[in-house]
Amino acid sequence: MRALCWNGVNDLRVETVADPEILNPKDVILKVGLSTTCGSDLHLIDGLIPTMREGDVLGHEFMGEVVEVGSEVTKVKRGDRVVVPSFVSCGECFHCAQEQYSLCDTSHPKPELAEPILGYPTAGIYGYSHAFGGYSGAHAEYVRVPFADVDCFIVPEDVSDETALFISDAAPTGYMGADFCNIQQGDVIAVWGCGGVGLMAQQSAKIMGAEFVIAIDRYPERLAMAEALGAVAIDYTKVDVVEMLKDLTGGRGPDACIDAVGMEAGGRGIQQAYDRVKQALYLETDRGYALRQAMMACRKGGTLSVLGVYGLMDKFPMGMIINKGLTVRAAQQHGQAYVPRLLEHAQRGELTPAAMATHHFSLEDGPKGYDMFKHKTDGCVRAVFKP
């Protein structure tokens, strides 16, 4: 089959690889319907996450049709149209039982690579480096999905392929980020980043009853999309964000701040220069501009909800958390906990992720799609591939 493969920093190629096979009895094989780019892939493409190997198949946000079923799969059937969260989760372990699906204790085939970095291995992820399990990704004609009864969710007929696609990753991530904020009546939520994850966090915060939502980014088309979802949009290159947030909240500051930016954050001033130099020298993989700003802006006793992906950041302003009494919540997405709810929100028209599919490509044009996504060419929010 054909697949989009990582071959080094900024080197993606579509290549011919073997078809996936059922390896364990709870596996299925999916014929990929649609797959899409995620901001997390940029960390791999930019070389900020080690343990990629040349020839790895990328892609962790996808949906498709079940074409082959392992001997112990009982719920999912051949022909089912399903969406699959980006983490492989067993549904049986301590963490899965607590709906901490991205922390699954049993789905990592290479735990010895993860333990030295994090202390304990996380769940495996599709197409996201060997320290995260080394599973072959979904930018391909077919993909193997382990623990299918737990990880495949049937898409209702009235939910389109495009909507279902984002309920794999961007939507559950954003929704989880809003869920972390424990939104109460009158709460104002600020979201850094208007990519797929940020936009979904904004819409989710509205669904959960936020008084209003403030969206921060620099790209006009992304800010316009945030406004279309009902958020107040701020261009961080044009104003002093912290001051602006104070103005908008009567001096209180947002009750919760969501970071949907991550380690490639853009920024201004000395701190940004410092971060960039260290990142360039590989002394530090992270540019934490957005995260630091979110901590500064957040009201005392508020919640900092971190969805952006970071490496091992030094110079972390811990004093901000302790002195302001902030609650920090962070995780990789626990998608399996949220997908059923998200499909219902989509059916009721409350969740509208399909608009993020701004650019469509064949799988063969995958490298071009990633290039446009990375550089946000032509207003690209998500590049969607159809194998």
Partner 1 sequence: MQAQSHHDDLAHQDGLAHDDDQDRAASVSAAVTIGKSANEVRSLWLDPATLPRIMEPMARITPRADHTADWEMDAPLGRTLHWRTRRPEETDRLGWTTVDGADVPNTGTLILRPAPGDRGTEVTLKLRFDPPGGLLGSGIARLFHVVPREMAMKALYNFRALALTGEVPTTEPQPAARNGGMDK
* Interaction site with Zn ion (CB under 5 A): 38, 40, 90, 93, 96, 104, 169
Q: 343-364 b/e with 16+ CB inside 10 Å = b?
A: bebbeeeebbbbebbbbebebe
Strands 232-235 and 212-217: parallel
Per the document, the length of the chain is 387
Residue 202 three-state SS: helix
CB of 383 to partner 1, least distance (A): 20
CB of 329 to ligand NAD, least distance (A): 11
| CA nearest to 381, candidates 359, 348, 365 | 359
Among 33, 59, 85, 121, binds partner 1 (CB under 8 A): 121
- The answer to whether 23 contacts partner 1 (rule: CB under 8 A) is yes
What is the Cα–Cα distance from 10 to 362, expressed in whole angstroms?
Answer: 19
- The answer to whether 146 contacts partner 1 (rule: CB under 8 A) is yes
Q: Cα 266 from chain centroid?
A: 18
What is the Cα–Cα distance from 200 to 342, expressed in whole angstroms?
Answer: 11
Our CB check for partner 1 shows the closer of 146 and 288 to be 146
CB of 41 to ligand NAD, least distance (A): 8
Among 333, 338, 358, 385, binds ligand NAD (CB under 6 A): 333
What is the Cα–Cα distance from 236 to 217, expressed in whole angstroms?
Answer: 6
CB of 193 to Zn ion, least distance (A): 13
Q: Going along the chain, which residue ranges are E strands?
A: 2-6, 12-16, 28-36, 56-57, 61-69, 81-84, 87-88, 124-125, 142-145, 153-154, 188-192, 212-217, 232-235, 256-259, 303-306, 327-330, 357-362, 382-386
Q: Cα separations (Å) of 384 from 38, 43, 251, 363?
A: 10, 18, 41, 9
Window 115-174: residues binding ligand NAD (CB under 6 A)? 169, 173
- Give every CB contact of residue 326 below 8 A, 6+ residues apart in sequence: 295, 298, 301, 302, 303, 304, 320
- The answer to whether 5 contacts partner 1 (rule: CB under 8 A) is yes
| Window 244-273: contact mask with ligand NAD (x via CB under 6 A) | ----------------xxx--xxx------
Among 219, 316, 360, 367, binds ligand NAD (CB under 6 A): 219
Q: By CB under 8 A, which span of 36-44, 135-143, 198-206, 259-267 interacts with partner 1?
A: 135-143
Q: By CB under 6 A, which span of 34-42, 142-150, 182-190, 361-369 interacts with ligand NAD?
A: 34-42
CB of 37 to partner 1, least distance (A): 19
Our CB check for Zn ion shows the closer of 40 and 204 to be 40
Which residues of the shown chain bind ligand NAD in the complex (CB under 6 A)?
A: 38-40, 42, 169, 173, 192-198, 216-219, 222, 236, 260-262, 265-267, 289-290, 307-309, 332-333
Which residues of the shown chain bind partner 1 in the complex (CB under 8 A)?
A: 1, 3, 5, 7, 13, 15-21, 23-26, 53-57, 72, 88, 90, 92-94, 97, 105-112, 115, 121, 124, 133-136, 140, 144, 146-147
